[in-house]
Copies of this chain bind each other. A is one copy, B any other.
Amino acid sequence: MKPYLLQMLKEIALLGGVRNTIEVSSVELADQLNTSQQTASRYLLELDKKEFIHREFGIKKQRITITDNGLHALEDEYSQYKQIFDLESKVCFKGVAVSGMGEGKYYTNQPGYIQQFQQLLQFTPHPGTFNVEITPIERNKLRLLKNVGGLEIEEFTTKNRTFGSVLCFPASVNGVKGAIVLPRRSHYSTIIEVISPHYLRERLAIKDGDPVEVMVFLKKK
């Protein structure tokens, strides 16, 4: 939807056009939008044609109601703004399921990690990680997470080697509880690793390439 049409739809909504009929002339709407009567009229024609509003003509002014279609458009926009101002409490990643190379299983079987997961997350992770590939542009949100800070999993040493520290955030994958795991060392990649008390791949009935939504929860300040 063209941004200028959405703007007009918003204006109609603010005047009470949601589940209610308003009576306005194209001149009045033009004034509200700081534009000409002709442009307001054209916008109304476009909104009508695209079924975002319904119009009836009287002898003067016109009666306008926002359709379900139009209401959905407004709701979508609203939810984006809610997300922006909610970004300090939760961050949403959209991606697709991918297979790792089994290293996830190796790490999540280390007692040194398992104990800390149990303590900080109050669950025992199912062996292995569930990997989600995100678009490069969403890596910016990973940076955001590191800036805000999360649960610190400390490094530890076994007789064989050292396991590095990890930053961890409670999360959900398509609504199922878990946590995401960001190794401190590695640079931001386009793969998010998720651990969960459940075997996510089975629980969500997901195979490689399926779209998934990862919601990451930040600790409130």
How distant is the Cα of A85 from the Cα of B24 in the complex, in angstroms? 21
Choose among B10, B23, B31, B77 the residue that contacts A140 (Cβ–Cβ < 8 A): B23
CB-nearest residue of chain B to A188: B23
> A140 to B23, alpha carbons, bound, how many Å?
7
Cα A159 to Cα B149 in complex, Å, equals 75
Residue in B18, B77, B78, B138 whose beta carbon sits within 8 Å of that of A87 in the complex: B18
Taking chain A's interface residues, is the majority helix, strand, or loop, or is none over half, making it mixed? helix
| Inter-chain contact A14/B83, CB cutoff 8 Å | yes
Binds B, one of A1-9, A115-123, A167-175: A1-9
Chain B residues lying within 8 Å of A31, measured Cβ to Cβ, are: 137
A9 CB, min distance to chain B CBs, angstroms: 10
Return the contact of A18 from the options B21, B84, B138 (Cβ within 8 A).
B84
* Docked complex Cα distance between A75 and B81 (Å): 9
Chain B residue numbers with a CB within 8 Å of A18 are: 84, 87
A211 to B13, CA, bound (A): 23
Closest residue to A16 on the B side, CB-wise?
B144
A77 contacts across to B, CB distance below 8 A: 81
A50 within 8 A of B: no
Instruction: Name the one of B7, B74, B140 contacting A22, with C-beta atoms under 8 angstroms.
Output: B140
Question: Is A109 close to B, CB under 8 A?
Answer: no
Q: Which residues of chain B are within 8 angstroms of A21 by Cβ–Cβ distance?
A: 143
Q: Name A's B-contacting residues (CB within 8 A).
A: 3-4, 6-7, 10, 13-18, 20-24, 28, 31-32, 74-75, 77-78, 80-85, 87, 91, 136-138, 140-141, 143-144, 147
